[in-house]
Structure 1
């Protein structure tokens, strides 16, 4: 198996040591460290890593400035590791817009203990980043995912009989690595009278509210973080909250609402795309459109197949426009995707599917 070369860049010795310990526990990683961007530049000149973990607040040069320089001169997959992106900070979005693939949150207190508790998530995130299409480079060796729960943990298997169609449609979208910018592309292209949309984007807790607020200022549709009992309405987008809860679609009479409930990790994620898609298959049937976008792993593939079996229209993002062609690839392979679409065509395709 090909090794994944990781460069950890952080001015905190305790954080560097914690990340080295966590990553080195998996033999696929080869880890080096640097205390600031200038030291990191020296490492990169000697040996180009497959992925970099990068702090934001460092001496001599901050992480965002270094990230922008790196992307303009030597594009590499970068995962931001910082506490500054907590509680709606604009730093998260600056990092993603500058080219970061993903973000790992560290608290301001008890950093080492917190990182140790998240060891599997950190390793998964770095593996995902190593496979990201940041530039014209070969993807790293695929790493088998750890055993994981299915949507059965939150919802029983749906009735395979297609639900009778109503006049109102609902769109469910799932994304992971690379999805924040992909979602911005799709949602900013939608008109104000678009069908109601529910989104699961794999993001850490506390980021989704700021993400929704940022999109709301850019889009013609209204965007907010989903709350339990929110109605899915035309012209509105609900972003599933990150953290300890799953977001599901339910039908109440003639309307759809979301249910936000605590539960275990499903397909190694919470919220899980599989959980949302299965709930849509069960509650909406042919009245739904499912869209699976860029991301590592297979979360959403089985759920999208259940949606298609229930009569929904289903779309998958194509390989060329995906940052990581994992989730869409698995959905296509199992026959869940009715149509494969480039990122810049997804908004138009989902509107067409919603109007039949």
Structure 2
């Protein structure tokens, strides 16, 4: 039977979420704070953890980091819908959590019954997903801890770099990964501490990729991701070279309010000017636009190296809005500059039709590989279309994008 650890300092919330999961057929254990969660995760070895963000003694963010280093597990964050809760949730995703849900606060008509149903649906998805890169998240958490500790040490010794962000960006681990079966009757070979080796946890940030040779002018990149995507998207933006002078459109499945904060984080990490997309705006070379939560992002035209985009609050596609397919298909139809479509980790099939459209339009297509995808649904569906040019690990996504626009001295003349 699939095991779920429910972590919340509220006995009422533990009971509500725990009862919903028990009635859905899961074996449920509970913990009251982050410290207890770490101990219980090691002893109980859950398949999925639901983690509250704000708790006494040790909060959910630090608990995520510790669990991902010592006992890598799929972690679903439950947070309050506030500005502070949004930032905390993004921190948790950066440290290894794969997804999140909002606790109802009365602002949008959601109730505890809605939350219970959403938790069960999300745990169903995670428990049945082909999850093969928990070690990747472990490496991310380890790199985060290493970098944070180094920053603390430098501050203590008076060697802090002026203007440096002590949290920095995460190095996404590569190297060997260990597949963790998720079926209820399968032998579970992934044990605490297994997976990524020290070699897959780099100590230093390599920085943006350096360009060599000649590259297509004013290229466009359309990037789509869902579950497990934020930390990988952040790492990609850290390394995307400004010299490529690309226009970047990002569709990350997130609710309203999160995408603006996510854009701000990417802007801090990247050499690109990153912002949440606005209706009718122009996206120029060296700029990136993030699809807002609850709105599709469409490309209207592409003139003089600039994209004009619009927002559409039409029907959901594949149950989501924004949808990757909408952005990719509109880019394939209306972008005349060199085009690259990229799909990353996530559940479902959003992006598969978009990849087909980009390929049909003559663009280059890339999918994240299974070994480094926390959830391999979206990339797998895209690959199965037969329209993916390159399959790349998280650590080589930027190099693969750059290669897609390498003209090797060729021109249209």
TM-score tier after normalising by the smaller chain length = 0.7 to 0.9
Query: CA 1:232–1:119 in structure 2 vs 1: closer, same or farther (change >3 Å)?
Result: farther
Which one of 267, 278, 282 corresponds to residue 231 of structure 1?
Answer: 282
Between Structure 1 and Structure 2, how many residues are aligned?
Answer: 329
SS of the residue aligned with 2:271? coil
**Cα distance in 1 between the residues matched to 2:393 and 2:41:** 33
Q: State the structure with more CA Rg.
A: 2
**Cα distance in 1 between the residues matched to 2:372 and 2:322:** 24
- The answer for the alignment partner of 2:134 in structure 1 is 134
State the TM-score, normalizing by the size of structure 1.
Answer: 0.82
Residues 80-91 of structure 1: pairs in structure 2 closer than 5 A:
80-83=77-80, 86=83, 89-91=86-88
- The answer for the alignment partner of 1:345 in structure 2 is 396
- Per-residue CA distance 1:289-341 (angstroms, 9 max, x = gap): 10111112221012111221122111111122222222111111111211112
User: In 2, are the aligned partners of 1:192 and 1:220 still within 8 Å (CA)?
Assistant: yes
Query: CA 1:8–1:196 in structure 2 vs 1: closer, same or farther (change >3 Å)?
Result: same
Residues 204-215 of structure 1: pairs in structure 2 closer than 5 A:
204-215=255-266
**Cα distance in 2 between the residues matched to 1:251 and 1:138:** 44
**Cα distance in 1 between the residues matched to 2:113 and 2:336:** 41
Query: CA 1:168–1:120 in structure 2 vs 1: closer, same or farther (change >3 Å)?
Result: farther
- The answer for the alignment partner of 2:240 in structure 1 is 190
Structure 1, unaligned runs of 5 or more = 143-165
Query: CA 1:10–1:188 in structure 2 vs 1: closer, same or farther (change >3 Å)?
Result: same
Which one of 57, 71, 76 corresponds to residue 73 of structure 2?
Answer: 76
User: In 2, are the aligned partners of 1:195 and 1:354 still within 8 Å (CA)?
Assistant: no
CA offset at residue 220 of structure 1?
0.8
User: In 2, are the aligned partners of 1:88 and 1:206 still within 8 Å (CA)?
Assistant: no
Structure 2, unaligned runs of 5 or more = 136-177, 185-215, 408-413
Residues 43-192 of structure 1: pairs in structure 2 closer than 5 A:
43-83=40-80, 86=83, 89-109=86-106, 113-117=110-114, 121-130=118-127, 131=129, 132=131, 133-135=133-135, 136-141=178-183, 168-192=218-242
SS of the residue aligned with 1:217? helix
- Per-residue CA distance 1:263-305 (angstroms, 9 max, x = gap): 2321122111111112122222674210111112221012111
- Per-residue CA distance 1:56-82 (angstroms, 9 max, x = gap): 112332222222222232221111111
SS of the residue aligned with 2:92? helix
CA offset at residue 126 of structure 1?
2.8
Query: CA 1:286–1:336 in structure 2 vs 1: closer, same or farther (change >3 Å)?
Result: farther
Which stretch has the larger CA shift, 345-354 or 218-227? 345-354
User: In 2, are the aligned partners of 1:285 and 1:310 still within 8 Å (CA)?
Assistant: no
- The answer for the alignment partner of 1:245 in structure 2 is 295
Instruction: Quote the RMSD (CA, aligned, Å).
Output: 2.8
**Cα distance in 2 between the residues matched to 1:264 and 1:30:** 37
**Cα distance in 2 between the residues matched to 1:289 and 1:248:** 16
**Cα distance in 2 between the residues matched to 1:334 and 1:286:** 24
- Per-residue CA distance 1:140-186 (angstroms, 9 max, x = gap): 249xxxxxxxxxxxxxxxxxxxxxxx964321000112211111221
Query: CA 1:25–1:169 in structure 2 vs 1: closer, same or farther (change >3 Å)?
Result: farther
